[in-house]
Structure 1
Amino acid sequence: MPLRSLIVGIRSLSARGSSAFSPNKFGSLQRSDIPIERLVVPKPEKTKDFAKEKEFTVSKRKIKELKIPVGISKTERERLEKIQSRETPPPSHLCLIQCSKPEFNLLECKPGVSHSLCSTYWEKNKHSDEWFIIRRMTKESPSQFATEGNSWEHYVPDRLDPLIRDALADLSLKTPTQVQTQCLQAFPSRYHLFIAAETGSGKTIAYAAPLFTKLLQSKRKGFVEKAVILTVTAPLKRQTFAALSKLAAKTDLRLSMCSSDAGCSGDFDVLVGTPGLVAKTLRKRGASSDIKHLVLDEADMILDESFTDVLTEIFALVPVSDSITNPNGDSDGARIIFCSASCPEELECLADGVVDRQHLRYIKSPKLHSLSKNVELKFIRVREKDKIMRLQGLLAEDMRRGELNQTMIFCKDRATASFVHQQLQSFSHPVTLCISNMAVDENSRIFVATDVAARGLDLPRLSHVINYDLSRHLVDFLHRIGRVGRLSSSFLGRVTSFVRTPSEVRLTNAIELAARLGRPLSQIETDVSGQLKLARENRD
């Protein structure tokens, strides 16, 4: 195509296109009117200056702190993990039971939660030297009855003679205990009484104060009434007689004590003696219809099978009111007062065999069969060959505590007691042997005894009881620990028990479980001699 024709064509096309592409109809075709998509890059945020920031958040992620070494055995690792997993108690919470293994500790904030026993596997020798302590919860005797308006004066003169009240004041007995209050309230009735209260609660005064009041009232009216008090051992007989003599010091009551050589000399208002000597005295005396009160002290032992024959003879000589032993079957007989530190169901059945249950009233302490809260109890798993060495260490500590406190060591039999006595003498300890009915030297620092001394013996300076051999029965254990923490005690009491044999471990298990649960001891035995006799027969 010629160049001239091409130029003319372009010009004509431009003329037509100016009207076809009018901006009024189609808009501008300028560059700025064409939309262009662009990649917008966000501006980076300004970083915070943490040095100038006052508050900032920290990551909540916790990094586990390595507290247990890696190179130890699996058993040791599990033991350490168990110890570290225990919660740390607040400092205000007390440790009720402290153990050689801290994982068995019982804290005040969680009473009764941990029932695992520290002594569970003590039958195995590998657990030797382990121990646990039942801590003392109070310094005062739990038997003290603190109630507003409770005083001896409240019962004068109807239920308590003024002379007896004055004697109680001389004995520094300011207010009656709970069991003494209950006895003063119940004594005027004609019912037979069964007084069951913890050791050291004042049971002797509980029955003696209203009894002496009744005898004095009858004497002033011209009536003749006498009382007989039975005790299980000669030492307890002498101690009971001494306590009653102080109570009757301001009165004209005639107290007499049966002895093995002279018996009972002269007439009496109150006769104190062991069952055998009392039966012998009454047999010589003849008719005993004037005996209106018969007290069985330590009834759980007097009603034992070993005293059956002599008690039958006494009941034949002294008719008992409302009882099958009274041939007349009426109420014109003696009134029986049972007195015991334990009262299991079997003992109640034995009492029912003596008197009619409908005419028997029970006075029971709410703390009966419970561990004393004012006495510290420690149990140590030991080997037999280590006992003497540990005993020397305990006695050396007791001697450093002062010059007045006393210690009593209980053994399972006379042979063991004699051996321990001989060993302690060889180390120059001031020790006294108490295995017979001989009088006890109350000024001795150390006593070695059998269960003969566990009944009713009252030593105000006694501060420590050591069970060289743990008792065979729970009832004997209660009587042993009852030598300390009494109303008359001058020192805080504590008990240390050596545990070795399987039977001792089982007894320890029962005691520890009762302490952890905060409940009284269960399965308290009675008629112990009968059980031993039956066991011997089965063995043969």
Structure 2
Amino acid sequence: MSFSSLGLAPELADAVAGIGYEQPTAIQAAAIPAALRGADVLGSAQTGSGKTAAFALPMVHALISGKRERRGLYGLVLVPTRELATQVGEAIRKLVQRLPQPVKVSIAFGGVSINPQMMALRGGTDIMVATPGRLLDLVEHNALKLDATSVLVLDEADKLLDMGFSEEIASILAKLPARRQNLFFSATFPPAVQALASAMLREPVRIEASNEEAHEPDILQRAIEVDAPRRTQLLRQLIKQEKWSRVLVFVATKYASEHVADKLRRNGVRAEAFHGDFSQGARTEVLADFKSGRLQVLVATDVAARGIDIARLPVVVNYDLPRSPADYTHRIGRTGRAGESGVAVSFVSADTEAHFRLIENRQQKRVPRERIAGFEPVQQAAAPVASDPNGGIKGKRKSKKDKLREAAAQGKSDG
């Protein structure tokens, strides 16, 4: 199968071939013909499945083939993070740069001055890739109108809702024409995502492309038993012993991100923290250093790492285990991409053993436990942890509600 066989305009098919796209991926082969027909699309797709071209190519086709019905902004793509906005926007720009007709693609996200983004919208734009909050800012400043938009794309809808954008999405939907095409992509479909899809989509074409290729990514999963206080020392030894050139290390908190990165730097490892308090300029600089190899280790929180794409990343380390099995899948999927092999290492202590077993059960894969000489664990497991029926894992710390209930009960008994 070729891109031209999907019904794309010849000049667009030629442009795609010119940038090295040889054959459509599974989601592209299914989504592009449906989108060209004007149908709504509901796609289940992981990051790296090729979904950007799946929704971008039909929009570009309409723009260059004279099938555009309205003037003004034609296609709007909503994404959860600034890194993903840049990644998706640049990918679309790459698709259109070889076309004889100009197609203007704009990118907008928060955390930076709005003025350059407003200036870039002078004269209008054809396709806008934006985070929800900044998009609404642009609309309020009269830099952009949504009343003529023909196509709305929600990319990584589950993350959009996870990050608390439901109110912003509702405001944006109210400003868009009722008559439009909707392309909806998500890696997971919890109830909130299903409800949003049901409200937005009209008789959508459903596409399942979570496991993009017939084979699974080539990721070696390792689980190393170690006492929690010795994880940083073990990480340092593994970096040296295994000769890891670049490592993305996941931790649970901003403090842990700074603490672990500082410990590594003190021992001669080129490491930097990466968390949600970073300014956009700092985020861009740190990512550029990591991608170029000037940084060897990036110690990141889940929120900060959402949407970043590091080509040929050899190793991911779960210093702190993720809260849910779905997050585990997202994390380790940062390596072993585009046909490359990768390694995903998880540190497992006595207190997190039950946590990791739940992750194994959900992915239906047992990961053999390892012990590294000199780092054999000595701590014993604490009280068992309870699993959350929604997929998360409850720790031993009591919630606020639990504490309030206990206080109320204590008050009654004291009375």
TM-score interval, smaller chain: 0.7 to 0.9
Q: Which residue of the other structure, out of 329, 338, 349, is the alignment partner of 1:478?
A: 329
Q: Partners in 2 of 1:524 and 1:208 — Cα distance?
A: 37
One-letter amino acid of the counterpart of residue 108, structure 2: C
TM-score (norm 2): 0.77
Q: Partners in 2 of 1:525 and 1:466 — Cα distance?
A: 25
For the 8 Å contact 1:229–1:294, the answer to whether it is kept is yes
Q: CA deviation at 1:243?
A: 1.5
Q: Is the alpha carbon distance of 1:304 and 1:524 closer, same or farther for their aligned partners in structure 2, counting shifts above 3 Å?
A: farther
Q: CA deviation at 1:225?
A: 5.6
One-letter amino acid of the counterpart of residue 496, structure 1: V
Are 2:46 and 1:198 aligned? yes
Residue 200 of structure 2 aligns with which residue?
355
For the 8 Å contact 1:371–1:515, the answer to whether it is kept is no
Q: Is the alpha carbon distance of 1:290 and 1:218 closer, same or farther for their aligned partners in structure 2, counting shifts above 3 Å?
A: farther
Q: Partners in 1 of 2:347 and 2:68 — Cα distance?
A: 55
Q: Which residue of the other structure, out of 65, 81, 84, is the alignment partner of 1:233?
A: 81
Residue 408 of structure 2 aligns with which residue?
none
Residue 385 of structure 1 aligns with which residue?
229
One-letter amino acid of the counterpart of residue 155, structure 2: D
RMSD of aligned C-alpha atoms?
3.0
Counterpart secondary structure, 1:306: coil
Q: State the structure with more CA Rg.
A: 1
Task: Please list the CA deviations of residues 215-263 of structure 1 after superposition, one character each: whole Å capped at 9, or x if unmatched.
Answer: 2223788865611111211122222222221111123100111253123
Map residues 94-493 of structure 1 onto 2, 5 A cutoff.
150-155=1-6, 159-218=7-66, 226-251=74-99, 252-259=102-109, 260-261=112-113, 262=115, 263-264=117-118, 265=120, 266=122, 267-285=124-142, 287-304=145-162, 306-319=164-177, 321=178, 332=179, 334-344=180-190, 346-352=192-198, 354-356=199-201, 358-365=202-209, 367=211, 372-399=216-243, 405-435=245-275, 436=278, 437=280, 438-439=283-284, 440-441=287-288, 442-443=291-292, 444-487=295-338, 491-493=340-342
For the 8 Å contact 2:80–2:163, the answer to whether it is kept is no
Q: CA deviation at 1:349?
A: 2.7
For the 8 Å contact 1:218–1:225, the answer to whether it is kept is no
Q: Is the alpha carbon distance of 1:307 and 1:203 closer, same or farther for their aligned partners in structure 2, counting shifts above 3 Å?
A: same
Q: Is the alpha carbon distance of 1:153 and 1:189 closer, same or farther for their aligned partners in structure 2, counting shifts above 3 Å?
A: closer
For the 8 Å contact 1:228–1:272, the answer to whether it is kept is yes
Q: CA deviation at 1:411?
A: 0.7
Counterpart secondary structure, 1:303: helix
Q: Is the alpha carbon distance of 1:388 and 1:424 closer, same or farther for their aligned partners in structure 2, counting shifts above 3 Å?
A: same
Q: % of aligned pairs identical?
A: 27
Any stretches of 5+ residues in structure 2 without a counterpart? 367-386, 393-398, 405-415
One-letter amino acid of the counterpart of residue 153, structure 2: V
Q: Is the alpha carbon distance of 1:301 and 1:201 closer, same or farther for their aligned partners in structure 2, counting shifts above 3 Å?
A: same
For the 8 Å contact 2:72–2:145, the answer to whether it is kept is no
Q: Is the alpha carbon distance of 1:465 and 1:210 closer, same or farther for their aligned partners in structure 2, counting shifts above 3 Å?
A: same
Q: Partners in 1 of 2:389 and 2:90 — Cα distance?
A: 30
Q: Deviation above 4 Å: which 4+ runs of structure 1?
A: 219-225, 370-373, 514-518, 522-526, 535-540
